[in-house]
A and B are shown apart, each in its own frame.
Chain A
Amino acid sequence: MADYKVQNKMLPWQKTYPGWVSALAMIAVLALWEAVCRTGLVSSLFLPSPSEIICSLWEMTLTGEIASNLAASLKRIIAGFLLGSLAGLLFGLLTGASALGDKVGTPLIQALYPIPKIALLPLFILWLGIGELSKITIIALGVFFPVAMNTYSGVRNVDALLIKVAVSFNAGRWLTLKSVVLPGALPMIFAGLRLAAGTSLLLLVAAEMIAAREGIGALILHYGDLMITDKLMAGVIVLSLLGLIFHAALQWLEKRAIPWKE
């Protein structure tokens, strides 16, 4: 006969580490990368070291090369994203909230969604010219689909009880849509916007590699052709930062738009 002490079995699941562990891991990876380059294990033509990349990035920033290319890219991605998400939102609300819209719009979306959007770029260039409009359109199209589809399922999954409550107060369709359906769908809509952010970056770079003289995508392709890999990687870093900022901005917006979400 012995005593048996009850122990907390949840501890392995609740373990936490301080924030500096992530920073340390990041630094370790960079240091390893730097070390591999310094020892000459791989030629710097194939894999430039982090320090070289940072130096090139700094130089390119000073000469204004980054600024001008980034500005061109930003214009395209912002315009495309706004256009595409707005259209997707409206389309999703329409197909989600109206039975006719659903019957007409949903098969259309399902037929068009699987097309890799970049395949349409030649067509858009033919229609809209090689200028900005074709690139913005392709980004908008890529953004449209995830936003429209998520808005649709967000609207469809709004708690039926809440709609009943609104209807019980004789709320009209428009009021119900605006004050019940849209807020209820917002979490899903933001999930769609996050998906779309990734898609828009991908399409931006692809379009710029195919048909642009300015822009981060064009810059990367240019230095790739010249085999100047450190400048190429500097462009990649800019893209990574762009993605991070994009994500943070959406998160900021989501916090403001959905204050009731835990």
Chain B
Amino acid sequence: MKLIIEGVSKSFGVRGKELTALEDINLSIAEEEFVAIVGPSGCGKSTLLNLTAGLLSPSCGSIYFKDASPGRMPAFGIVFQETGLFPWRSVYENIAFGLEAAGTPKAALKDEIMHYIELVGLSGFEQSFPHQLSGGMRQRVGIARALVISPDVLLMDEPFSALDAQTRTIMQEELVALWEKTRLSTLYVTHNIQEAVLLADRVVLLSRRPGRVSNIIEIKIPRLERERAEHTGAIDEYVRTIWEHISKDARAALLEVEENG
């Protein structure tokens, strides 16, 4: 089963004016593929993710699964940037939400939830509330919540951008390990080039306003070896190439006064 984004554009009406956020995006995510989307802030990364997740309607184009098994709706697991945990639910109950929504009987949830709590390293915090957790732990809950429903595709919108650099590095390493266990098709949005190069099979570069796919770069180093010293040079080379592609856009984005920011 392959996720296909075909000719997708999206414009917003802002005070009577049409603002084209995305234009003619064509992209596919194969099974067990990790695709990262990189672009300057405001280029439409979140918009693309929301369109893919079915939380926004495209202005034109379509998004579909090719060769989906009939009779079953493919599921998305989504990790949001601001975590979006329910403050009034404990860690356990937050993770349980997706399963409850799917109609799984409460009694049958326990093993599944405990498995994912352990997988993201939150054992002992089941009964804690989100406000009692650090930023990194909160995002782990977000990841467990997305994984527990056994999604067909994992969508992540800058999941680590609110974390400090050290926590972020640790979380990236954990995500690599976790991903190798689940091997879910993943669409990962970030503005951090280093992060994209460490995580993804392919890095998609978005230009800004209107957001277009300006380049797709394949990272040819095996994912589990990317932290090794012998690959440092190659990784840096990827990062430098990508930065060259997008730095002009990023500078322009910085200068621009956001009309609706």
Contact = CB atoms under 8 A, between A and B. Distances in A.
Contacts of B63: 5-6
Interface string B18-42: 0000000000000000000000000
B162 interface: no
A4 B64 contact: yes
Contact of B64 (A1, A5, A10, A11): A5
B153 to A, nearest CB: 10
A3 B57 contact: no
A262 to B, nearest CB: 11
B66 A3 contact: yes
Contacts of B53: 6
Contacts of B185: none
A2 B70 contact: yes
B80 to A, nearest CB: 14
B54 A8 contact: yes
Using C-beta atoms within 8 Å of the partner chain, give the interface range for chain A.
10 to 19
A4 B65 CA distance: 5
A3 B55 contact: no
Given A6-B64, A6-B65, A1 B70 contact: yes
A1 B67 CA distance: 5
A4 B53 CA distance: 13
Interface in A1-34: 1-11
A24 B63 CA distance: 39
Contact of B55 (A2, A4, A9): A9
Interface string B192-204: 0000000000000
Contacts of B66: 3
B78 to A, nearest CB: 11
B233 to A, nearest CB: 40
A175 B89 CA distance: 40
Interface in B55-108: 55-57, 62-70, 73-74
Contacts, number: 39
Nearest to B70: A2
Interface of B: 52-57, 62-70, 73-74
A2 B68 contact: yes
Contacts of B52: 6
A6 B76 CA distance: 10
A9 B54 contact: yes
Given A3-B64, A9-B55, A10-B55, 10 more contacts: A1-B67, A3-B65, A3-B66, A3-B67, A4-B68, A4-B74, A5-B63, A6-B64, A6-B65, A10-B54
B57 A8 contact: yes
Contacts of B56: 8, 10
Contacts of A2: 67-68, 70
A8 B55 contact: yes
Across chains A and B, which 6 residue pairs bring their CB atoms closest together, nearest first? A4-B68, A6-B63, A8-B57, A4-B65, A5-B64, A1-B67
A26 B62 CA distance: 41
Contacts of B62: 5-6
Interface centre among A1, A5, A6, A9 (most CB of B within 10 A): A6
A2 B55 CA distance: 22
Nearest to A7: B54
B144 to A, nearest CB: 22
8 contacts: A1-B67, A1-B70, A2-B70, A3-B68, A5-B65, A6-B64, A6-B65, A8-B54
A199 B52 CA distance: 49
B69 A1 contact: yes
Contacts of B55: 8-10
